[in-house]
Amino acid sequence: MLFSYNWLKEYLQGKTPAAQKVADLLCFHSFEIEGLEKKGNDWLIDIDVLPNRAHDCFSHIGIAQEIAILTGNKFVIPKTTLKIKQGKVSDLLALKVESKDDCPRYTAQLISGVKVGESPKWLKERLSLLGLKPINNIVDITNYVMLETGQPLHAFDLDKIKGVQVQSSKFKVQSERKEIIIRRARNGETIKTFDEAKTEYKLDESILVIADIEKPIAIAGIKGGLETGIDKNTENVLIEAANFNPVLIRKASQKLKLRTDASNRFEHEITPNLIDFSQQRAFDLIVEIAGGVATGSLVDFYPNKVKERQIELNCEYVKRLLGLEITKINIEQILRKLDFSFKRKSNHQLLVIVPTSRLDLQIEEDLIEEIGRLYGYNNITPVFPEVVLKPSQENQEFIFENKIKNLFKELAFAEAYNYSFTPENIKAIFGFKEGELIFPANPMSTLNHYLRPCLAIHLIKNAKENLRYQNEVRIFEIGKVFLGKEKKSLGVVMAKQGLRNKEQGFFELKSYLEVLFNVLGLKVNYEPILEHNYLEAGCSAKIIVKQKEVGLIGLVKGKINQTKENIFIAELDFDFLQSQGQMKKGFKEIPQFPPVLLDLSFLADKSTLYSKIEQVIYLAKPAFLKEIELFEVYSGKGVEEGKENFGFHLTFQNPKATLSLEEVNKELIKIIQNLEKNGFIIRK
């Protein structure tokens, strides 16, 4: 932010250090200096004001006060006098604020009999030096006061504001009472702003406006409207000085893509108490330069007055936190420099009263930081901290993720890192419903609006692009997805040129997943998918672990693939895999006693899933059953239509003794009975 050295000197009594010295002091104790440039008989200082000091230092007075603290110069500000013309202001203006949260304070001063014209040379030069274009004396004064105090102001042509006819309480005659309403815009309302382009903006309910009884006349805290702007015919003005919700102003500024000096100050938050001096200062300058008198008293909506904060400060804690021996006298001297009043509560305890302009000072540690800053960090002797250093704990999530990545790299997969945002057209392409996708309040790109709901969107694109240059593509990605809530997913995509057999591709990708599940020690079942947005029915499946759907695997539909090659993809809930998987290896002795192998055949409906058969067998609770293996599925001659013959190997083994045939048959009967109970037909 640019500041005039000559202007800053006007608030400092006594000999002020040279511009370079001032810049050095500010850089050492307060803010970084971006540049120092000679402009005629003045110096232009470009100061990078920290966000936490924007409340009080986005102004010449604020920076001058900071310089006075560092140099010892006495800080002085212009005196103000507000001459009030007799008259009841309620006959002239009605003010309505719909929400005190949107507008904590609003003031309006009516000034009549002004003469609008060109500003004095000194005023135009000062504004031009700081990058503002002079317009006319009234508008230039509001801009000047903003640069001086940090409080944005706006001037309306009072006669252009629409009002209602009322009867004067004093003269018993009809007159128009102007109305100012601070409210949210209505959807579809528009406003042309007071600038050279006369830009028209479309408003909605998220934007705060200043309105009369008919329409918006200004975008609150950002820009004034064209229709009520000051021109050469203006005689009566309304000077607005207000305080608006910083979040509202920032969001509106971003939505409208309209950033101004006023919005920059409001969105960083300023104290409502700054209005008092700024409003009076503007009035004095208008009377001095443009003439006019105040009409009625100041209209002031301020329901919840902001009071000075009181913070307890322990002098011993100051020493401990800063790591230096600083006396209580030195601490009190620094507080006086900062213009903070205080009360002594005990030998080591002070009650510090912080001015409302210092919104950055909320707790005791904030005060200690200020003390250290002005004492000089260069005066603090560096010492090694006396702490017990412990090695940091391993990040188990990071370790697990790296192991999974290494596993897929060993399987000849390449890792992808894709953008977390997706374009709007993926809703239609991938079949997501309205409201399912998350739209950030401030998207980083105009092309990619939404947070990605799945990894498949980008992985399919990766596969299509890579197939142009290589015969086989194997890619995986671990990343966050956002569908309803944020979670981490594992996506795996595979494609080969010339692979026309859908089943072969499906089972090859499935085999890679089986390696993963074996490493994690997870037992997996698959259920066919009958319908899906981007996977082809008949060649895709749900992945079930512990009776929970944790992912999908299948062939990408042709309308999404749009290549002659088949692309197969799988996506898994990575958070679930991490919470349920066990990658620790254990040792198990080789059994000393031989297993007993039996074959079992039975008929079942063609629609019967393997997982259903497995569940029925184990629900019989057979003792010593170590493993079951499907070795045959047959339909045709000798098998009833609509049925299939399933053949299973059953392996029984007792780790402590050799099993007898009687023991095995006893357990086999349990299995057969349970199968028959569930509608399966045992083949003899």
In degrees and rounded to multiples of 5, residue 657 shows phi and psi of -160, 165
Residue 102 assigned as binding residue: no
Identity at 122, one-letter amino acid code: W
The closest alpha carbon to 37, from 23, 51, 26, 27, belongs to 23
- Residue 140 is labelled as binding a ligand: no
Q: b vs e for 534-564, b when ≥16 Cβ sit within 10 Å of the residue's Cβ?
A: bbbeebbbbbbbeeeebbbbbbbbeebbeee
8 A C-beta contact, residue 49 and residue 109 = no
Whole-number Å distance between alpha carbons of 110 and 86: 12
40 backbone dihedrals φ, ψ, rounded to 5°: 60, -120
Per the document, the length of the chain is 684
Sort 46 into a burial class: Cβ within 10 Å, 0-12 / 13-18 / 19+.
Answer: middle
Q: Helix, strand or coil for residue 287?
A: helix
In 529-684, DSSP assigns E strands to 535-545, 548-556, 567-573, 596-605, 625-634, 643-652, 681-682
Report d(CA 163, CA 236) in Å as an integer.
15
Strands 293-295 and 84-85: parallel
Residues 33 and 23: beta-carbon distance below 8 Å: yes
CA atoms within 13 A on the CB side of 383: 11
Residue 488 bridge partners (DSSP): 480
At what angle are helices 328-337 and 364-375 packed, to 10 degrees?
A: 90
Name the token pair of 89: 């202001």
Rounded (5°) CA angle 650-651-654: 140
Cα 197 from chain centroid?
Answer: 32
For Cα atoms 177, 179, 181, give the angle at the middle one, nearest 5 degrees.
170
Instruction: Give the pairing type, strands 414-415 and 472-483.
Output: parallel
212 appears as a binding residue in the annotation: no
For residue 52, the 8-state DSSP code is G
Q: Could you give the CA distance from residue 282 to residue 143 in angstroms, rounded to a whole number? A: 10
Closest-CA residue to 212 (of 246, 256, 166, 162): 162
288 labeled part of a ligand binding site: no
Residue 599 CA, chain-centre distance (Å), reads 61
Q: How far apart are CA 563 and CA 550, in angstroms?
A: 28
| Token output for 384 | 């090694």
Name beta bridge partners: 518: none
Helices vs strands, H then E, count in the chain:
20, 35
Could you list the residues known to form a binding site, using ranges: 360, 366, 369-370
Could you list the residues known to form a binding site for Mg(2+), using ranges: 360, 366, 369-370
